[in-house]
A and B are shown apart, each in its own frame.
Chain A
Amino acid sequence: MPPLARRNLFHDKVRLTVTVTGIVFAVVLIVVELGLFVGFTSTTSGLVDHSGADLWVTSKHVPYVELGVPFSERKLYQVRAVPGVQEAQKLITRWTQWKRADGREESVQIVGINSDSQMSRPWNLVEGSVQDLKRPDAIIMDEIYKQKLGASHVGELFEIRGLRARIVGFTRGIRSFTTSPYVFTSFKNAQDYAGVDANQTIFIVVKMAPGADVNQVRHAILDNVKDVEVFTSREFSRMTQIYWMFTTGAGVAVLLAAVLGLVVGFVVVAQTIYATTTDHIKEFGTLKAMGAANSYVYKVIIEQAAISAVIGYVLGMIVSGFVVRASQSGGAAILLPWQMGVGMFFLTLAMCVGAALVSISKVTRIDPAMVFKG
């Protein structure tokens, strides 16, 4: 096929620029919003997803990981006695107050763990080690929150709930969905920092023995331990995500912004391709007079839309790449998994081809007799 679509598209460079700019805007907005959605979602359940646990034992009616209710730590031993349980550890997550050197207080989420266990450890350590949490008053925080918490280096002293806390390490990339950063410490310290009674815990995390059946172990724990609920990590992760992303409305807001980007892109592309089609209406009339089927004419228009989509997608993803990279050092990470990149290509293509349908309906109604009107 002679390059009619491509030539017509590139003939009017101003209009092409407008079209591509609209597509780039849509691509970047959608990627950023979806990337935020994915980033937020993974952030909300980060503690659960990185716990390494198979099961979470909680008090009854705990809706998500930040809202655990204390229960007797004696239940830990009951859980450990259940067949199929390889390891069980106590875990605390709770909000408390951090005092900066300048006296200002910030809210943080204390995470109290057993540093000898592989479960629930802080990940991506860039300074210090988990074993340093055995030291008195030791805490590990994420470097993203240095400025917020007034910290700068290992060894600094702060107050948490009036008690001394010493930074022994920093992680990179452990974000909290709320404004309260995670602060990892030993289980004992966490009870003090969070105001949890000495004989209580908030969660019990469970590692199953190899080959154990998750449902059997879960039911066995429920049979053996009173007044608790047992979730798989996946279930608890999903519950936490759903609460933060949808019950609070945060996720809906982000998704709506993504939809808005799609609508803007659609409208811009529809308008410019329609204008291009109108400019070339005589040519399309000539094509039909020459005997071209409607499908041939549609192909020209769709090819224009597809070419615009590819150009806009490539440029949009380049810009998005920069935005994603810049977000890594911020409080809200925008994630761009490769699956989203591939999906965006097809979404961009669908958006542009869909927008071209407006023009297609116009050329369908062309009367070939118009070519005789000079």
Chain B
Amino acid sequence: MPPAIQIREVTKTYTEGAASVTALRGVDLEVEAGELVMLAGPSGSGKTTLLSIVGCILSPTSGSVKIAGEEVTKLGQKQLPRVRLEKIGFVFQGFNLFPTLTAGENVELMLDLKGIRRDAARNRALALLEQVGLGEKYASFPADLSGGQKQRVAIARALAGDPQIILADEPTAALDSVVGRKIIETMRALARNHGRAVVIVTHDPRVLELGDRVIHIEDGVIARKLPEHEVPAELLTVRSGTIAARLA
């Protein structure tokens, strides 16, 4: 079975007028189903750009991106939403829940995008909220939920499409350490118990250890890819286009 995420020699350059910025330089990355990978690095290192490319929100300037075996760089802009809808679930830093919909309706919205009928969507949404421990909050609006509860609703929404890949951008940034850790543990369970590839962008060193691997990125380059138990207190960096070998 091919890796859930497979990117080769990906470069991303932003051009504005005469100026250009290279956010990613020749990045390689593979994430298997069932793996939880942490993507760490300073601000401006290219983490979000990498996540956006993996999430088929941005297209690379060059290189290959395969999502669940499908080469997406050859797809047109109008086809990328289909890939996101079918294969990828997103969890955002700011939760990005729809404030005028209840928790249940937020999850139903994802199911509606997939064409699931109202009654079936309602039942599935309830089951997903129960899975994240929020079944009783089905009819609550986001304004009535705590930060941790909102993020769990967001996770339920991301799962609604039954994606093979879950991408999370700083999911614990707005949460305290206890709640944040619980969120990451939930996402680890999603990876291990349900065979999903989970990639989390995070600044939070307290949760890095929960990942199967930590990938440090700086200046658009992946520095080191370390298994969980080898994560150092200070992360090594390699500049100027050096690509580290993938560690087992």
A and B found bound together: yes
A116 at the interface (CB under 8 A from B): no
Residues of B within 8 A of A291 (CB): 81-86, 88, 113, 161
Contact: B93 with A368, CB < 8 Å?
Answer: no
A283 at the interface (CB under 8 A from B): yes
Task: Point out the residues of chain B lying under 8 angstroms from A3, CB to CB.
Answer: 101, 105
B48 CB contacts on chain A under 8 angstroms: 372
* Complex: chain A residue closest to B89, CB-CB: A290
Residue of A nearest to B112 (CB): A1
Taking CB atoms and an 8 Å cut-off, the chain B residues in 73-102 that contact chain A are 81-86, 88, 90, 92-94, 96, 98-101
Q: A287 — which chain B residues lie within 8 A by C-beta? A: 109, 113
- Of residues 46 through 66 on chain A, the ones whose CB sits less than 8 Å from some CB of chain B are none
Residue of B nearest to A293 (CB): B81
Closest A residue, CB atoms, query B106: A2
Chain A residues closer than 8 Å to B55, beta-carbon distance: 289
Instruction: For chain A, residues 276 to 290, give those with C-beta under 8 angstroms from any C-beta of chain B.
Output: 282-283, 286-290
Q: How far is the CA of A341 from the CA of B159 in the complex (A)?
A: 48
* Chain A interface, DSSP helix/strand/loop, else mixed: helix
Please, which residues of chain A bring their CB within 8 A of the CB of B51?
Answer: 372
Task: Give the distance in Å from the alpha carbon of A1 to the alpha carbon of B51 in the complex.
Answer: 29
CA distance A288 to B83 in the complex (A): 12
Q: Tell me the bound Cα distance from A290 to B90 in angstroms.
A: 7
Whether a CB of chain B sits under 8 angstroms from the CB of A13 is no
A296 located at the interface, meaning its Cβ lies under 8 Å from any Cβ of chain B in the complex: yes
Contact A290 B85 (CB under 8 A): yes
B45 interface residue (CB < 8 Å to A): no
Give, as a whole number of angstroms, the nearest-CB distance from B103 to chain A.
11
Q: In the complex, what residues of A have CB within 8 A of residue B52's CB?
A: 369, 372
Q: Establish whether residues A369 and B161, one from each chain, have CB atoms under 8 Å apart when the complex forms.
A: no
A286: chain B residues at CB < 8 Å are 92, 96, 98
If the complex has contacts A4-B100, A7-B101, are A292 and B92 also in contact, measured as CB distance less than 8 A?
no
Asked if A97 lies at the interface with its beta carbon under 8 angstroms from chain B, I say: no
Q: How large is the interface on B (under 10, 10 to 19, 20 to 34, 35 or more residues)?
A: 20 to 34
B90 and A292: CB pair below 8 A?
no
Question: Is there an interface contact between A2 and B109, defined as CB atoms closer than 8 Å?
Answer: yes
Is B105 in contact with A371, judged by CB distance below 8 angstroms?
no
Chain A nearest Cβ from B200, distance in angstroms: 13
Q: Which residue of B has the minimal Cβ distance to A282?
A: B96
In the complex with contacts A286-B92, A288-B81, A291-B81, A11-B100 CB distance below 8 A: yes
Given contacts A2-B105, A372-B48, A374-B93, contact A290 B110 (CB under 8 A): yes
Complex CA–CA separation, A11 to B94 (angstroms): 21
Assess the A289–B101 pair: CB atoms within 8 A: no
* A292-B93 contact, Cβ under 8 Å, with A369-B52, A372-B169: no
**Interface status of A8 (Cβ within 8 A of chain B):** yes
Taking CB atoms, residues of chain A closer than 8 Å to B113 are 287, 290-292, 296
Docked-complex contact B81 and A8, CB < 8 angstroms: no
Q: Min CB distance, B101 to chain A, in Å?
A: 6
How long is the Cα–Cα vector from A93 to B100 in the complex, in angstroms? 68
- Flag if B101 contacts A4 (CB, 8 Å): yes
- Verify B90–A371 contact, CB threshold 8 A: yes
In B25-67, the 8 Å CB interface with A consists of 48, 51-52, 55, 57-58
Q: Does any Cβ of A come within 8 Å of B218's Cβ?
A: no
CB distance from B231 to the nearest CB of A (A): 24
A7, A369, A374: the one within 8 Å of B58 (CB):
A369
Contact of B84 among A4, A283, A290 (CB under 8 A): A290
Min C-beta distance of A272 to chain B, whole Å: 17
Task: Tell me the smallest distance from the CB of A217 to a CB of chain B, in Å.
Answer: 67
Of chain B, the residue at the smallest CB distance from A286 is B96
- Tell which of B57, B86, B88, B94 touches A374, judged by Cβ atoms closer than 8 Å: B94
Q: B170 to chain A: which residues have CB within 8 Å?
A: 374
Taking CB atoms, residues of chain B closer than 8 Å to A282 are: 96
Closest chain B CB from A314 CB (angstroms): 23
Asked if B108 is at the interface (CB within 8 A of a chain A CB), the reply is yes
B92, A2: Cβ atoms closer than 8 Å: no
- A66 CB → nearest B CB, Å: 61
Q: A4 vs B106: C-alpha distance in the bound complex, in angstroms? A: 9
Measured between beta carbons, the chain A residues less than 8 angstroms from B101 are: 2-4, 7
CB distance from A370 to the nearest CB of B (A): 9
C-alpha spacing A1/B90, complex, angstroms: 20
Q: Closest CB-CB distance, B97 to chain A, in whole Å?
A: 9
Q: When each residue 76-91 of chain A gets 1 if its CB lies under 8 Å from chain B and 0 otherwise, what string results?
A: 0000000000000000
Kindly list 12 other residue pairs between chains A and B, CB separation below 8 angstroms, not including A287-B113, A289-B55, A292-B113.
A1-B112, A286-B92, A286-B96, A288-B81, A289-B84, A290-B85, A290-B109, A290-B110, A290-B157, A292-B85, A372-B51, A372-B169
24 contacts between A and B (CB under 8 A): A1-B112, A2-B106, A2-B112, A4-B98, A4-B101, A7-B100, A11-B100, A286-B96, A286-B98, A288-B81, A289-B55, A289-B57, A289-B84, A290-B110, A291-B81, A291-B82, A291-B83, A291-B86, A291-B113, A292-B85, A292-B113, A296-B113, A372-B169, A374-B173
A residues sitting closer than 8 Å to B (CB atoms) are: 1-4, 7-8, 11, 282-283, 286-293, 296, 368-369, 371-372, 374
Closest 3 CB pairs of A and B: A291-B85, A7-B100, A291-B84
